[in-house]
Structure 1
Amino acid sequence: MPYVSVTLCFPGVQDSTQCATIDHMQLDTGSVGVRVLASALGQALAGRLPAQSGATNDPTGGAPIAECAVFGSGYTWGPIKRADVTIGGKTAGNLPVQVIADDTYSTPSDCVSRGVNNLGTASALGANGVLGIGPAQRDYPAAAQTVLPAAYYYCRSATSCTNTRVPLDTQVMNPVANFTSDNNGTIIRLPALPAGGQLRATGELVFGIGTQSNNAMPSNPNIVALDQNGFFQTTYKSRSYSSAIDSGSNANIFADYTIPSSGDWYTPSTTLSLSAVLTGIDKAAMPVTVPFSLANGSSLVANQYAAYDSLGSPSAGMFVWGLPFFFGRNVYTVLNNVMIGKQVGPFIAF
Structure 2
Amino acid sequence: MPYVTATICFPGVQGSNQCATVDHMQLDTGSVGVRVLGSALGSTLAARLPTQTGATDDPTGNASIAECAVFGSGYTWGSIKRADVTIGGKTAGNMPLQVIADGQYSTPSDCQSRGVYNLGSATALGANGVIGIGPAQRDFPAAAQTVLPSAYYYCTSATSCANTRVPLDTQVMNPVADFTSDNNGTIIRLPALPAGGQASVTGELVFGIGTQKNNAMPSQPNILALDQYGYFSTTYKGNTFSSAIDSGSNANIFADYTVPFSGHWYVPATTLSLSAILTGVDKAAPSVNVPFSLANGWNLMANQYAAYDSLGSPSAGMFIWGLPFFFGRSVYTAINNVMIGKQPGPFIAF
TM-score bin (small chain): over 0.9
- Give the match for residue 141 of structure 2: 141
- Give the match for residue 309 of structure 2: 309
- Give the match for residue 25 of structure 2: 25
Q: 2:15 & 2:37 partners in 1: Cα distance?
A: 21
Matched ranges for 1:124-273 at <5 A: 124-273=124-273
Q: 2:273 & 2:76 partners in 1: Cα distance?
A: 36
Q: Deviations over 1:209-232 (max 9, x none)?
A: 000110000000000000011001
Question: Displacement of 1:337 after TM fit?
Answer: 1.2
Question: Displacement of 1:7 after TM fit?
Answer: 0.4
Q: 1:157 & 1:342 partners in 2: Cα distance?
A: 50
Q: Does 1:97 align with 2:97?
A: yes
TM-score by length of 1: 1.00
- Give the match for residue 344 of structure 2: 344
- Secondary structure at the aligned position of 1:193 is classed as coil
- Secondary structure at the aligned position of 1:149 is classed as coil
Q: 2:124 & 2:346 partners in 1: Cα distance?
A: 31
Question: Displacement of 1:175 after TM fit?
Answer: 0.3
Q: 2:257 & 2:229 partners in 1: Cα distance?
A: 28
Q: 1:316 & 1:22 partners in 2: Cα distance?
A: 36
Q: Which runs of 5+ in 2 are unaligned?
A: none
TM-score by length of 2: 1.00
Question: Displacement of 1:132 after TM fit?
Answer: 0.1
Question: Displacement of 1:341 after TM fit?
Answer: 1.1
Q: Which runs of 5+ in 1 are unaligned?
A: none
- Give the match for residue 83 of structure 2: 83
- Give the match for residue 34 of structure 1: 34
Q: Deviations over 1:143-202 (max 9, x none)?
A: 000000100000000000000000000000000000000000000000000000000000
- Secondary structure at the aligned position of 1:291 is classed as strand
Deviating above 6 A after TM superposition, structure 1's stretches of 4 or more consecutive aligned residues are none
Aligned pairs, how many?
350
- Give the match for residue 292 of structure 1: 292
Output the amino acid matched with 2:100. I
Output the amino acid matched with 1:205. L
- Give the match for residue 123 of structure 1: 123
- Secondary structure at the aligned position of 1:313 is classed as strand
Question: Displacement of 1:338 after TM fit?
Answer: 0.5
Question: Displacement of 1:293 after TM fit?
Answer: 0.3
Question: Displacement of 1:285 after TM fit?
Answer: 0.5
Q: 2:178 & 2:232 partners in 1: Cα distance?
A: 25
